[in-house]
Structure formats: structure tokens, C-alpha cells
Amino acid sequence: GQNIDQPTEMTATEGAIVQINCTYQTSGFNGLFWYQQHAGEAPTFLSYNVLDGLEEKGRFSSFLSRSKGYSYLLLKELQMKDSASYLCAVPLNNQGGKLIFGQGTELSVKP
Amino acid sequence: EPEVTQTPSHQVTQMGQEVILRCVPISNHLYFYWYRQILGQKVEFLVSFYNNEISEKSEIFDDQFSVERPDGSNFTLKIRSTKLEDSAMYFCASSEVSGTYNEQFFGPGTRLTVL
């Protein structure tokens, strides 16, 4: 079976750094996605990791450890607009490439 | 920038009625998906579609659900006889390729409310 775990919610201060963790158990592995979802809106792509290590993209970075079944999303220089839900998702190893999503981590950025 | 569009943005229906949710995927994409998200819960896969047929469907996607690509641009999800528990946000997504790297672009969603 497949299982993805993320903290339900986190709070951080504007300008700070926050790390959102994700652990997964899947029967196969084809990489891991992070999506951002503002309330009432669609998920939007943030990052994709398939190899171990850190991928940096501006204020956002994503890390993967395949041996530990672990990923994190790092957000630097937090802005109020970063308040959103952050979704960890894995594609399964079959045709169609469906995504299995975690519950999402609701991040609140305070002034 | 190309985007996935969905109509309507909000649909209210009575239990037992049929609804059709419409999506226009990105034009050069070949793989299409429907997901749903019940309020406060995670995004759940419903069905994937490629080459005019269903590639995979979840256990949620029972006989009450169907998908169709009636022309070269639209991709629809039909629920034949809606139930209260079908109330959710329905997202359409599309991607260029399947397999390992599969960035799926999501539409803005249709909020379905079943009364």
C-alpha cells in the first residue's frame, strides 16, 4: 500500500525559514512532488525530486532521501502570501501516472 | 501561459440528479485526470485517461462516474446520480507525458454541492 504523512499545520513568522516534512511508504518510487494550494484554489507545482539531495529554486528548496522515505520543503524569507497548504505527492509506477497526495500541511505566516 | 480551464466554477444540484463537469486541458497534453477534494481532506485520484480510454481508475470511480472526450478539446466527468457524499471540489489535470516525470497541471476546480 501507499502512505504519505505530513504535519497537519505549522505556523511561522514573516521573514523566517520553515521546513515542512513528508514521509512516504510506496510500493514503487518515481519521484516526489511538492504542490502549493491556496484555499479554494488548485494545486500548483513547486518542485520534483527523484534523486537524493537538495534542489534549490529561489526561496523554495526541496530535499529527498530515498533510503529514509523522507522529503522536506524549505521555505526561506517567508512572506504573508506563502500562507497556504503544501502538498506532498508521489506518482505511482504505472501507466497514467496518477498522483497520491498527502493530507497537506497548512502553513500560516504571521507578521 | 497555457492553462487548464474548468466550468462551471460552482455547481449546486439535488441528490439523484446528473451532473457534467467540463474541462479543457492544455492543448498539446495527452494525459488527462480527474481528482476530487472533499472539504478539509486530501486530494484523491479518480481517473486517468489516455488515447481515448481510461488508463486507471480508483475505487471511488464506480459505475456512477464516467469520463468522455467528446471532441478534440473537452474532457468531461459525468456523475449519473449524485449523492450527498459527492459534494467536493473536482479538479481536472493534464500532462504531456506519463511515466517517471509527470508534472500535472491542475485546473481551478469545480465546487460541487449536492443538496
Q: Do A43 and B31 touch (CB under 8 A)?
A: no
What are the phi and psi torsion angles at B69 (to 5°)?
A: -120, 85
Joined grid coordinates for residue A50: 527523484
pLDDT for position A94: 47
Which residues in chain B are contacts of A94 at CB distance < 8 A?
A: 56
Distance (Å, rounded) from C-alpha B52 to C-alpha B84? 30
Distance (Å, rounded) from C-alpha B89 to C-alpha B35? 8
Check whether the bond before B8 is cis (ω within 30° of 0): yes
pLDDT for position B71: 87
Residue of chain B whose Cα is closest to the Cα of A32: B101
Look at residue A31 and tell me whether its pLDDT is greater than 60.
Answer: yes
Look at residue A36 and tell me whether its pLDDT is greater than 50.
Answer: yes
Question: In chain A, pLDDT over 70 holds for what percent of residues?
Answer: 95
Residue of chain A whose Cα is closest to the Cα of B43: A101
- With vertex at residue A34, the alpha carbon angle to CA A28 and CA A37, rounded to the nearest 5 degrees, is 130
Q: Do B42 and A41 touch (CB under 8 A)?
A: no
pLDDT for position B100: 57
Residue from A97, A91, A103 nearest A49 by CA: A91
Residue B112: which pLDDT band, with cuts at 50, 70 and 90? very high
**Closest by Cβ to A30, choosing from B95, B100, B106:** B100
Which residues in chain A are contacts of B56 at CB distance < 8 A?
A: 94-96, 98
Which residues in chain B are contacts of A41 at CB distance < 8 A?
A: 108-109
**Arithmetic mean of pLDDT over chain A:** 92
- pLDDT tens figures, A93-110: 645 578 999 999 999 999
Q: Do A31 and B106 touch (CB under 8 A)?
A: no
Residue B101: which pLDDT band, with cuts at 50, 70 and 90? low
CB pairs A-B closer than 8 Å: 70
Helices and strands (H and E) in chain A: how many: 0, 11
pLDDT for position B10: 97
- pLDDT tens figures, B11-34: 999 999 999 999 999 998 989 999
Check residue A38 and give left, alpha or beta (phi > 0: left; psi -120 to 50: alpha).
Answer: beta
Q: Do A30 and B105 touch (CB under 8 A)?
A: no
Q: What is the mean pLDDT of residues A59-68?
A: 96
* 3-class state of residue A82 by DSSP: helix
Look at residue B46 and tell me whether its pLDDT is greater than 80.
Answer: yes
Identify the burial level of A23 via C-beta atoms within 10 angstroms of its C-beta, where 0-12 means exposed, 13-18 middle and 19 or more buried. middle
Residue that the C-alpha cell 455547481 belongs to: B11
Q: Do B108 and A31 touch (CB under 8 A)?
A: no
- pLDDT tens figures, B28-44: 898 999 999 999 899 99
Strands B10-13 and B110-114: parallel
- pLDDT tens figures, B48-96: 998 899 989 999 999 999 999 988 789 999 999 999 999 999 999 998 8
Joined grid coordinates for residue B32: 488527462
Look at residue A52 and tell me whether its pLDDT is greater than 90.
Answer: yes
Joined grid coordinates for residue A24: 512516504
pLDDT for position A96: 56
Identify the burial level of B99 via C-beta atoms within 10 angstroms of its C-beta, where 0-12 means exposed, 13-18 middle and 19 or more buried. middle
Residue that the C-alpha cell 449519473 belongs to: B80
Which residues in chain B are contacts of A105 at CB distance < 8 A?
A: none
Identify the burial level of B7 via C-beta atoms within 10 angstroms of its C-beta, where 0-12 means exposed, 13-18 middle and 19 or more buried. middle
